[in-house]
Amino acid sequence: MSQPPTPSYPPAIEIRDLRVDYGNCVAVDDVSLTVPPGEVFGLVGPNGAGKTSTFRVLATLMEPTYGEVRLAGIDILENPREARRIMGYMPDLAPVPSDLKVWEFLDLFAEAHGLGRAAARRQRIDEVLAEVALTDKRTVFCRTLSRGQTQRVVLAKTLLHRPRVMILDEPASGMDPLSRRNLRFALRKLADQGTTVFVSSHILGELAEMCSSLCVMNRGRLLAAGSVDAVRRLLGRAERTLSLVVLERAGEAAAWLAGQPGTGEVTTHGQRLTFHFSASQEDQAALVTGLVRQDIRVSSFEEQKSTFEDILVEVAEGHHTP
Amino acid sequence: MNAAAPWKLWANPIIRRYARSRLRVQGLGIGLILTLMAAGFLFFSTRTLALYRGNMPEIDAERVPLLPLMVLQALILFFLGTGQVAGGMTGEADEGVLDYQRLTPLSPLTKVLGYLLGLPLREYALFAGTLPFTAWGLWRGQVPFSAWASVYLILLSSTLLYHLTGLVAGTVVKNRRWAFLVSIAVVFGLYTVIPQMAKFGLTTFKYFTLWPVFEEQMSHFVPRDAGGIFRTVQRMTPEVRFFGLGFSETVFTLFSQAGLILTFVVMLWRRWRQPEAHLLGKAWAAGLMVWTQAMLLGNALPLIEPGLVFPSRELQRRVFNARGWTPSVSEGMGMIGLYGLVALVLMLVLTLIVTPSLEDQVRGRRRARKLGLSRPPWFSDAATSFWCVLAMAVTGAAGWFVFARSLIGPAWYAGHSLPSHTPWTFGLVLLAGGLCFHALLERWGGRRVFQAVLFAGFAPIMVGATLGAASDRLLTASLWLIGLSPFAAPVFASQSLLSTADLPLAAARAIPPAFWFWQTLTALAALTLAHGLWREKKARAAAEASV
């Protein structure tokens, strides 16, 4: 008996040779990227990296100079209306109309997306308001909402038609810590249900926690893309800081360490030794074994990896040229 | 999931959105109270005056409030409505919520109709508030159905046209206040400046207003005694002549407005489909130029033989007896010059719309290179508008020549004839002006063109006119200075081609040489600028190909 063929789903987002020009300024320069379905995929980069231009092209709000973009297999340049049916976009500092109540604002888009009759729409509106914890604000005017509440209403609007691909530009800006945590959970839950979330945030630690994969852009070019650890390995410093605490003979241990290959200057604070190390992971393991062979008892050993803030600063300072 | 189809207006989400926000009791209530008060005052005061002071029969007295009420209705729909549409559209863009509408799967046409009919919903409600008074007047005043249906049909089609103007203004102008003012100015211009142009042979312009139908049906809207006068006037011009065809004022007004309404809808449709798109494509712009020429000629030519095209005849008829009247040469020259000026201005406006910005050109070149093409496709927004300008200039010159040749014919100007080089001269005027404008715009962008129009277009006319007003001795110098402006070229061209016996001697001597001198220089400038543009484009393309 032959096995049934495995269904092959097209990538949720497929960008090929994307270029966006503003006159002579190149905002996005031949970027190619693939995001599989069900991922929370982050986009990181300093100001002017080309993030918003990329998002606006994906959201069908801007025509690129050239390039091919597909959302779940739909060519957005050839068929933008179909793409809009399956895509939800939330812009940075998302505005709301001042003359509408929250439910009226949501109902406008529920109708535009053809979500059925009044009762069905009302039910869906209640669902999304519950998801963003704003049920009590249903009948207030949008203009009375705080910045964080406004962000959540727009997120609710983005969720209304159950998009398969969500493009969120700084969705957490203006939100309080609790709302941010809820947002993280909500996005993870959506991804578990099969929705692909493409998100940018300036709170990079949060992005690393939220995303399964991410990419880094600078000056319109894509520097790296992949899992969080892979990107960190690729763009983080090769040199890392090691810190260990010995129970005795700290001076001897410092002298021994200073003689090992790849080790920088060792600083001693009591029993704690800190130094830069630029050799391989095997050499790092041999370092610890060596200390033990010297009969120096090690009570703790810690490696400080580059944080995403470090990476972004380096990218912004041009250490990683495209 | 099916989003609303364009024709399902009742299900259009944007209309329903504005029905919620603009028809709230608080906002609508105040407006409605003020409207009812104004309409009630107009109705009761004029009716009472007619009944008890004028001692009019009831039928006549009931007709008296109809005109004041119609003025109020026009104010509500034309001015308040148009301003609201323009300001509301800019406001949506200003707030940033317009992008949300772009993201919905509604068709561009559904969105255009949604904003067109949704934004002025409150003004429609205020208009509806005045209708009971009007309905009473029409019923008790025994106004025939055909009369009031024609007038109100055109009132509504004019409203649509002006609201579309507001929508286009709101889409193009970024500032809410400016969009409001521009749209109001357009409507104001339609009822003040344009009717004056219609009197000088450009009759078709008056069909963009309510006037022709209103004049046709006016006799039914006033007391019967006064109506007799209007009926006599109406009998003298019983129908609209369009080339060899005859139409009622209502049908022809609808036809004329439909052309513009379609053009505006296309503009908005293009912008909703692609926010950075030009308002019109090159083919549509060239087609619009042809359509305008056909409309202008179609209306004007049948009026030439009976003399109705001449403004002096109308004046003569109203003030004195028209018998023995003949048009002067200067009147004919003025009309020919005005036709040329309108053709030139229309061509420049369309050129402004279809010429790619520097940014468009860069993007177009890069896209073409990526696709393996040597240049952007001919009709794409990024392609040069040179050929379109050329086609519009030729079309404009042809229409202008047909008008001039028909006017200066045996019917009114026996003994005068246009020289054989007239079509070439007209072509030169439009081509030289148009190509200079185009080359500046496509090579350096709008700022340089604005400066050129200001300093080479308007300044010479203003300084020249001031000099000419100061002294007769400065007349020659002032005419030479005015001749520098491309906007003066059509008028100078017409004055140079005909017998100038009607002009003052100094003007008759100065205008032809000034015209030919400046026209030669403008033509040389156009050639130089066009060649410069061609070289620049080639150099830019080569520079990019080498990167």
Model confidence pLDDT, tens digit, residues B159-186: 999 999 999 988 888 787 888 888 888 8
- Provide φ and ψ at B376, rounded to 5°: -60, 150
β-pairing, A87-90 with A165-169? Answer: parallel
Pair (A116, A262) in one structural domain: no
CB neighbourhood size of B295 (10 A)? 22
pLDDT at B320: 60
| Residue given tokens 């004007």 in the structure block | B300
Q: Give the DSSP per-residue string, A275-286.
A: EEE-S-HHHHHH
pLDDT at B443: 93
Secondary element (H or E) of residue B33: helix B25-48
Report the residue of A77, A86, A105, A108 to disrupt the B interface, i.e. the one with the largest count of B CBs within 10 Å: A108
Q: Tell me the pairing of strands A25-35 and A66-71.
A: unpaired
CA B263 to chain A, closest CA, distance in angstroms equals 23
**Most B-contacting residue of A65, A92, A166 (CB-CB within 10 A), to test interface:** A65
Higher model confidence: residue A68 or residue A7? A68
B4 CB neighbour count, 10 Å cutoff: 23
- Average pLDDT of span A212-236: 82
- DSSP calls for B126-142: HHHHHHHHHHHHHHHTT
Q: Does the CB of A164 have a partner CB in chain B at under 8 Å?
A: no
Which residues, 6 or more positions from A47, have their beta carbon under 8 angstroms from its beta carbon? none
Are residues A204 and A113 located together in one domain of the fold? yes
A115 has a chain B CB within 8 A of its CB: yes
Q: B540 — contact with chain A (CB < 8 Å)?
A: no
Chain A residues closer than 8 Å to B382 by CB: none
Domain boundary among A189, A212, A235: A235
Q: How far is B256 from B73, CA to CA, in rounded Å?
A: 22
Contact (Cβ atoms closer than 8 angstroms) between residue B257 and residue B157: yes
Choose one of A215, A235, A255: the last residue of a domain: A235
The reply to whether A166 and A260 lie within a common domain is: no
Task: Please say which residue of A195, A213, A235 terminates a domain.
Answer: A235
pLDDT recorded at residue A210: 82
Average pLDDT along chain A = 86
Pairing verdict, β A213-218 and A40-44: parallel
Residue A7 covered by a domain: no
Task: Band the pLDDT of A206: cuts 50, 70, 90.
Answer: confident
Which B residues, 409 through 448, put their C-beta within 8 Å of a C-beta on chain A?
none
Q: How many residues are given for chain B?
A: 547
Domain match, A145 and A203 both: yes
d(CA B439, CA B5): 43
Asked if residue A310 is part of any domain, the answer here is no
User: Could B20 and A100 be called an inter-chain contact, meaning their C-beta atoms sit closer than 8 Å?
Assistant: yes
Q: Identify which of B13, B20, B95 has the shortest CB distance to residue A112.
A: B13
Of A287, A288, A302, A320, the C-alpha closest to A240 is A302
Tell me how crowded residue B309 is: count the other CB atoms within 10 A of its CB: 26
B394 reaches A (C-beta below 8 A): no
**Burial of A293 per CB tally in 10 Å (0-12, 13-18, 19+):** exposed
> How many Å apart are CA B334 and CA B346, to the nearest integer?
18
Query: For residue A218, what are the domain limits?
Result: 13-235
**Ramachandran category for residue A318: left, alpha or beta (phi over 0 → left; psi -120 to 50 → alpha):** left
Q: Walk along chain B (547 residues) and give the pLDDT tens digit of each residue.
A: 455 788 888 899 999 999 999 999 988 999 999 999 999 999 999 999 998 888 889 899 999 999 999 999 999 999 999 999 998 998 888 888 888 888 999 999 999 999 999 999 999 999 999 999 999 999 999 999 999 999 999 999 999 999 999 999 888 887 878 888 888 888 888 778 887 788 888 888 888 888 888 888 888 888 887 766 666 666 555 578 898 888 888 999 999 999 999 999 999 999 998 888 999 999 999 999 999 999 999 999 998 888 888 888 777 766 666 667 788 888 888 899 999 999 999 999 999 999 999 888 988 888 888 888 888 898 999 999 999 999 999 999 999 999 999 998 777 887 788 888 999 999 999 999 999 999 999 999 988 899 999 999 999 999 999 998 888 888 899 999 999 999 999 999 988 887 655 677 778 888 999 999 999 999 999 999 999 999 998 888 888 777 6
Q: Which of B22, B105, B359 sits opposite A85 (nearest CB)?
A: B105
* Burial of B430 (C-beta count, 10 Å sphere; 0-12/13-18/19+): buried
Q: Which of residues 91-110 of A touch B (CB under 8 A)?
A: 91, 94-100, 104, 108-109
Residues of B in contact with A71 (CB under 8 A): none
Can you tell me the distance from the alpha carbon of B234 to that of A264, in angstroms, rounded to the nearest whole number?
103
Cα A148 from Cα A175, distance rounded (Å): 4
From first CA to last CA, the distance across chain B in angstroms is 47
Give CA–CA dist B516/B493, Å, rounded: 9
Give the closest of B3, B104, B362 to A24, CB-based: B362
Residue A315 falls within a domain, yes or no?
no
Cβ contact A109–B100 (<8 Å): yes
8 Å CB contact of A91 and B362: no
Can you tell me the mean pLDDT for A45-65? 90
B104 touches A: beta carbon within 8 Å: yes
Q: Inform me whether the C-beta atom of residue A219 falls under 8 Å from chain B C-beta atoms.
A: no
Asked if A60 is an interface residue toward chain B (Cβ–Cβ < 8 A), one would say yes
Contacts of B101 in chain A (CB under 8 A): 112
Are B16 and A108 within 8 A, CB to CB?
A: yes
Shortest Cα–Cα distance, A261 to chain B (Å): 45
The dihedral through the CA atoms of B101, B107, B108, B111 has a sign that is: negative
Angle, in degrees to the nearest 10, between helices B108-118 and B249-273:
120
Residues contacting B233, CB < 8 A, separation 6+:
B215
Quick check: B406 contacting A, CB < 8 Å?
Answer: no
In sequence order, the 6+-apart residues with CB closer than 8 A to the CB of B234 are B215, B216, B219
CB contact at 8 A, A32 and A18? yes
Q: Which residue out of B103, B109, B271, B276 would a mutagenesis test of the A interface target, given it has the greatest number of A Cβ atoms within 10 Å?
A: B103
Question: Within an 8 Å CB–CB cutoff, is residue A310 touching chain B?
Answer: no
Looking at the fold, whether A75 and A221 belong to one and the same domain comes out as: yes
Distances (CA, A) of A119 to A125, A128, B289: 10, 14, 51
Instruction: Looking at the complex, report in whole angstroms how far the Cα of residue B376 sits from the nearest Cα belonging to chain A.
Output: 12
CA–CA gap between residue A113 and residue B3 (Å, rounded)? 6
Note the pLDDT tens digit of each residue in A85-129.
999 999 888 889 989 999 999 999 999 999 989 999 999 999 999
- In tens, the pLDDT along B179-219 reads 888 888 888 887 788 877 888 888 888 888 888 888 888 88
User: Burial code of B87-117, b = ≥16 C-beta within 10 A, e = fewer?
Assistant: bbbbbbbeeebbbbbbbbbbbbbbbbbbbbb
Backbone phi and psi for residue A95, each to the nearest 5 degrees, phi listed first: -90, 165
pTM over 0.90: no
Q: Give me the residue from B2, B103, B362 closest to A114, CB to CB.
A: B2
> Looking at the DSSP assignment, which residues form a beta bridge with residue A25?
A22
Share of chain A above pLDDT 90, in %: 37
State the Cα–Cα distance between residues A195 and A160, nearest whole angstrom.
13
Task: Measure in Å the smallest separation between the Cα of B195 and chain A Cα atoms.
Answer: 39
A179 and A261 both lie in a single domain? no
Nearest CA in chain B to A82: B105
The rounded distance, in Å, linking the Cα atoms of B481 and B468 is 10
Q: How far is CA B410 from the centre of its chain?
A: 32
* B367 to A66: CB separation less than 8 angstroms, yes or no: yes
CB atoms within 10 A of CB B369: 18
pLDDT at A302: 85
Q: Where are the domains of chain B?
A: 18-277, 353-545
- Same domain? For A182 and A94 the reply is yes
Instruction: Give the best residue of B100, B102, B121, B365 to mutate against chain A (max A CB count within 10 A).
Output: B100
Q: Got the DSSP string for B285-322?
A: HHHHHHHHHHHHHHHHHHHHTTTTT-HHHHHHHHHS--
Rounded to the nearest angstrom, the minimum Cα separation between B18 and chain A is 9
Pairing of strands A165-169, A25-35: unpaired
**Same-domain pairing of A146 and A281:** no
A26, β-bridge pairs: A21
Interhelix angle B121-140/B13-22, rounded to 10 degrees, is 80
Q: How far is Cα A227 from Cα A208, in angstroms, rounded to an integer?
A: 10
Which of A53, A82, A107, A113 should we substitute to test contact with B (largest number of B Cβ atoms within 10 Å)?
A113
How many CB atoms within 10 Å of residue B204?
23
What CATH number is associated with residue A124? 3.40.50.300
Classify burial at A318, counting beta carbons within 10 Å of its beta carbon; exposed 0-12, middle 13-18, buried 19 or more: exposed
Contact A100 B370 (CB under 8 A): no
Q: Distance between terminal CA atoms of chain A?
A: 51
pLDDT for B380-390, tens place per residue?
Answer: 999 999 999 99
Shortest Cα distance from B389 to chain A (angstroms)?
24
- Quote the DSSP letter at residue B53: I
Q: Are residues A138 and A259 in the same domain?
A: no
Q: What is the pLDDT of residue B502?
A: 67
Distance in angstroms (rounded) separating the CA atoms of residues B120 and B83 = 9
Distance of CA B14 to the CA centre of its chain: 28
- Closest partner CB to B362 (pick from A17, A23, A62): A23
Beta carbons within 8 Å of A145's beta carbon, 6+ residues apart: A96, A102, A137, A153
Chain A CB contacts of B106 below 8 Å: 112
- Answer for the pair B331, B312: CB distance below 8 angstroms, yes or no: yes
For residues A40 and A150, membership in a common domain is answered with: yes
Query: How far, in Å, CA of B374 to CA of B544, rounded?
Result: 12
Decide if A21 and B362 are in contact by the 8 Å CB cutoff.
yes
> Cα(B84)–Cα(B184) distance, rounded to whole angstroms?
10
Q: Using CA atoms, how far apart are residues B194 and B207, in angstroms rounded to an integer?
A: 10
C-beta atoms of B100 and A114 within 8 A: no
Overall domain count for chain A: 2
State the nearest Cα–Cα gap between B182 and chain A, in angstroms.
Answer: 24
In a domain, A6, yes or no: no
Per-residue pLDDT tens digits for A129-180: 998 889 999 999 999 998 889 989 999 999 999 999 999 998 887 778 888 8
- Minimal Cβ distance to A65: which of B20, B97, B366: B366
What pLDDT digit, counting tens, does each position of A244-262 carry? 898 888 888 888 888 888 8
CB contact under 8 Å between B105 and A59, yes or no, is no
Give residue A1's pLDDT band: very low, low, confident or very high (50, 70, 90).
very low
Q: Which residue of B has its CA nearest to A154?
A: B100
- Do A118 and A217 sit in the same domain of this protein? yes
> The domain that contains A288 carries what CATH number?
3.30.70.100
In a domain, residue A124? The reply is yes
A299 and A179 within one domain: no
**How confident is residue A289, by pLDDT bands cut at 50, 70 and 90?**
confident
